Amino acid sequence: MPAIDLNFAIIGDPHVGLPHTLHEHPHRFHLIEVSIPALEQILEHLIELNLDFLLLPGDLTQHGERANHRWLADRLRSLPFPVYVVPGNHDVPYPQGDVDRIGIAEFPDYYQGLGYTAGSPLYYSQPLAPGVRLVGMNSNTFDGAGKQLGYVHPEQIQWLVTELDRYRDEVIFLMIHHNLIEHLPDQSTHPLGQRYMLSNAQTLLQHLNPQQVPVIFTGHLHVQDVARWHGFCEVTTGSLVSYPHPYRLCRFQQTTEGKRSLQIQSPRVRSVPGWDDLQTQSREWMGNHSERFMIRLLTHPPLCFSDQAARPFLSDLRYLWANVADGDHQLSFPNFPPPLRQYLEGFSAIDPDGNPTTIDNDAEIELT
């Protein structure tokens, strides 16, 4: 078995927005206005490192704007190391493009040299190093009414099966925008969480073997989380434009005896012009915009509070989502009624047996 030693970085959901493309929205958690200065700060850091490649698992732009796609693709192609991207739901929000926004089929044309080649479909397979390959997949589609869905079409799954068989002796990294493994309690069934999951995740996972695909890289959820399930390891990375504004530095190693590990460090952007204490200011921003989300969380199943019954808990839940997004938090609500307390404390960083675990930000993870 070949020895492998790769150093790479991940930037999650940058939501790039040039100033003239920004629009106000009263309920947004995201600080789109920091997208470009935060990205530039990270890229300056990455250029100083001896990276083998950089991954961006989707939501590259705020809303599929042509200007933002052009700017970002040009910037990424200027870097001194390979960069690989896949589309997120914000990148291809419409089946057909218009004068301002791209249609879904146009995405590969904008990102040639960043995983895609001329005439490429919305998915690809690229060698990263001898014995290691990246498979980039598209998880965006539309139903007959034009509604966007997180779903992988059967023909793409069949293509994946063929690639896995063709490169059966290689280590495969899989990158896709939607989550394949749950990162939150009942994520695949909860009305608020399931839209971040690939709707046919189990179908896709049935075709994967963790011995061949030891790591999956996703985005979309805007939280720092590493999830383990039946031998698989899925790393989802928080968004560049929402608290805690993280990125990841990773090292994948495989020994000649077949032992594999993934080391992760997760720096944060601490300040950008106009946001001198971005961590504190952004956490407050998220807290200030959390009420609407928390009402929905409490009034949906399985809690099913009435709106009136939910409101007394809001002040204590002001920073709940910020803490979840931060990763590695142990949540405690000792004064809450037992069912509510049990449910919310389930968002803590715990393993399947309920034991505290801190692998979401900085860790060395043994892989299958």
CATH number assigned to the domain comprising residue 24: 3.60.21.10
Please tell me whether residues 112 and 150 are part of one structural domain: yes
Please tell me whether residues 65 and 15 are part of one structural domain: yes
Q: Can you tell me the distance from the alpha carbon of 161 to that of 282, in angstroms, rounded to the nearest whole number?
A: 42
Q: What are phi and psi of 178, to 5 degrees?
A: -75, 150
What is residue 29's predicted lDDT score, i.e. its pLDDT? Answer: 77
Model's pTM, two decimal places?
0.96
Domain assignment of residue 363, yes or no: no
Please tell me whether residues 201 and 299 are part of one structural domain: no
In the DSSP assignment, the letter for residue 65 is B
Model confidence over 352-367: pLDDT tens digits? 788 888 999 999 999 9
Please tell me whether residues 316 and 202 are part of one structural domain: no
Q: Tell which phi-psi region holds residue 327, choosing left (phi > 0), alpha (psi between -120 and 50) or beta.
A: left
What is residue 354's predicted lDDT score, i.e. its pLDDT? Answer: 80
Q: Can you tell me the distance from the alpha carbon of 178 to that of 236, in angstroms, rounded to the nearest whole number?
A: 9
Please tell me whether residues 55 and 160 are part of one structural domain: yes
What is residue 35's predicted lDDT score, i.e. its pLDDT? Answer: 98
What is residue 353's predicted lDDT score, i.e. its pLDDT? Answer: 80
Please tell me whether residues 223 and 288 are part of one structural domain: no
Please tell me whether residues 28 and 126 are part of one structural domain: yes
Please tell me whether residues 74 and 117 are part of one structural domain: yes
Enumerate residue ranges in the chain where pLDDT < 70.
26-27
What is residue 350's predicted lDDT score, i.e. its pLDDT? Answer: 87
How many other CB atoms are there within 10 angstroms of residue 102's CB atom? 24
Please tell me whether residues 235 and 331 are part of one structural domain: no
Model confidence over 284-306: pLDDT tens digits? 999 999 999 999 999 999 999 99
- Residue range of the domain that includes 335: 279-345
Count of domains forming the chain: 2
Domain assignment of residue 152, yes or no: yes
Indicate the residue among 232, 265, 298 that finishes a domain.
265
The strand order across the sheet containing 4-10 reads 83-85, 53-56, 4-10, 248-254, 260-265, 363-367
Please tell me whether residues 172 and 287 are part of one structural domain: no
Q: Can you tell me the distance from the alpha carbon of 51 to that of 79, in angstroms, rounded to the nearest whole number?
A: 11
Dihedral sign from CA coordinates of 74, 240, 86, 95: negative
In the DSSP assignment, the letter for residue 317 is G
Domain assignment of residue 366, yes or no: no
Please tell me whether residues 50 and 171 are part of one structural domain: yes
For residue 327, the SS3 value is: coil
Q: What are phi and psi of 135, to 5 degrees?
A: -110, 115
CB contact at 8 A, 176 and 139: yes
Please tell me whether residues 284 and 327 are part of one structural domain: yes
